[in-house]
């Protein structure tokens, strides 16, 4: 399989390029710096021998590995995103290589006393004896999803150098702005031309996912009146108190930190407020479509309840759907999940088939006509300073891609 050091070098060359996306920008990509890695990837795809390499005006990258067999088989695709989350800085990433991990605490940053510890992150113990790539404690790493990109390009490079492995036509796609929910918005499914695809955007080895949350964003706006505090009696109306009231109307046991599996939640992720106006930004999530619709309805009802209590409109709400559960689109073509499952079993991986407590480009692409389950990329603790990826997990992901390509010709 792909040389370990070669893979490390490739991955490090990606994560040291800042590609943080920006939810407040209307451009695509949302930040100009995403072009830096996008253009690098285009050149690298050409260098390894991929065909039909293209990048459009929005930085969507596509490339082809032509079929090397003389019979018709489905065209499959592999997709990853090159932006990183705006939740935590991705600038000046300084990866650290931990060889032969001993199962003990990893000092990420001695000066700031930042430690990656298996006493808190138990999954670390799964990787004793392996090579880990971590942060230096001051940035995220970017394994989400530059690990996926490294795996896809490495798998294509391997197939090109091993023509004895038979495969049909394979399409590769890399997208901007997935972390802000727009990765598939301008993806040209017809141009991509695959019968189905896989996003390489999961976490630990074995993850195979074809269910995800139904998702919406909500902004609750509370209105007040500003008056000089010295003359405020009977005049000032503080919108922040209305915000507190509204927050307490939602169930406090249905939040991300108190739910798991297929359980949905309301997540308050931002509060911006002054006396005159306060905005509460929520995300709404549920795997079950009926429960998802009920959650949106419930939030609207609480706005009505607050307005009724105060006898006038002190609150308003705007809700926008973001994506839906891909299960509805994947179940009719479950053979594409079966192929990925068999590809893992062939190399001794136990598939971990479970719902995603989130979303991927694949959830939107599935509704755009490209069924697209999600496969592990190997990283852990995404979007923060404790992010890490075992190199051996990335190698396993490469093997899975190669096996999927081979199995598709046998079906």
Q: Return the active site residues.
A: 83, 178
The answer to whether 63 touches 193, Cβ cutoff 8 Å, is no
The answer to whether 46 touches 339, Cβ cutoff 8 Å, is no
Nearest to 199 by CA among 21, 359, 395, 61: 359
The answer to whether 310 touches 303, Cβ cutoff 8 Å, is no
CA–CA–CA angle 389, 323, 245 (5° rounding) = 95
- Cβ within 8 Å of residue 57, ≥6 positions away: none
Nearest to 169 by CA among 32, 50, 281, 83: 50
- Rounded Cα gap, residues 87 and 388, in angstroms: 16
- Rounded Cα gap, residues 336 and 76, in angstroms: 10
CA atoms within 13 A on the CB side of 113: 0
- Rounded Cα gap, residues 231 and 238, in angstroms: 14
């Amino acid at each position: 399989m792909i040389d370990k050091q070669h893979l490390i070098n490739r991955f490090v060359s990606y994560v040291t390029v800042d590609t943080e996306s920006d939810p407040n920008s209307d451009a695509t990509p949302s930040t100009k710096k995403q072009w830096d890695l996008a253009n690098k990837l285009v050149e690298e795809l050409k260098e390894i021998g991929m065909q039909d390499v293209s990048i459009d005006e929005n930085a969507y990258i596509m490339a082809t590995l032509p079929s090397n067999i003389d019979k018709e088989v489905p065209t499959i695709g592999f997709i990853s995103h090159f932006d990183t989350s705006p939740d935590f800085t991705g600038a000046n990433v300084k990866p650290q290589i931990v060889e032969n991990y001993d199962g003990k605490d990893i000092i990420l940053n001695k000066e700031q006393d930042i430690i990656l510890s298996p006493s808190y992150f138990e999954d670390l113990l799964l990787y004793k004896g392996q090579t880990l790539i971590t942060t230096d404690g001051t940035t995220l790493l970017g394994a989400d999803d530059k690990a996926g990109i490294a795996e896809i390009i490495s798998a294509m490079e391997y197939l090109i150098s091993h023509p004895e492995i038979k495969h049909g036509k394979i399409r590769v796609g890399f997208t901007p702005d997935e972390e802000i929910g727009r990765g598939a918005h301008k993806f040209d499914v017809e141009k991509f031309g695959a019968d189905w695809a896989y996003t390489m955007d999961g976490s630990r080895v074995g993850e195979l996912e074809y269910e995800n949350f139904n998702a919406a964003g909500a902004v609750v706006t509370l209105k007040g009146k500003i008056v000089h505090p010295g003359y405020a009696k009977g005049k000032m109306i503080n919108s922040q108190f209305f915000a507190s009231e509204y927050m307490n109307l939602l169930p406090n046991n249905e939040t991300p930190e108190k739910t798991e599996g297929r359980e949905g939640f309301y997540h308050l992720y931002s509060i911006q407020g002054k006396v005159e106006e306060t905005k509460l930004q929520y995300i709404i999530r549920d795997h079950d479509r009926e429960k998802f619709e009920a959650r949106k309805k419930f939030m609207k009802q609480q706005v009505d309840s607050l307005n009724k209590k105060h006898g006038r409109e002190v609150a308003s709400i705007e809700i926008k759907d973001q994506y839906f559960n891909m299960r509805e689109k994947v179940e009719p073509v479950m053979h594409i999940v079966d192929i990925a499952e068999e590809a893992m079993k062939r190399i001794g991986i136990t598939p971990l088939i479970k719902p995603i407590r989130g979303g991927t480009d694949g959830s939107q692409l599935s509704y755009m006509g490209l069924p697209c389950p999600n496969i592990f990329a190997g990283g852990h603790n995404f979007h923060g300073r404790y992010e890490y990826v075992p190199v051996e997990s990335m190698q396993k992901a490469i093997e899975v891609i190669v096996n999927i390509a081979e199995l598709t010709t046998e079906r």
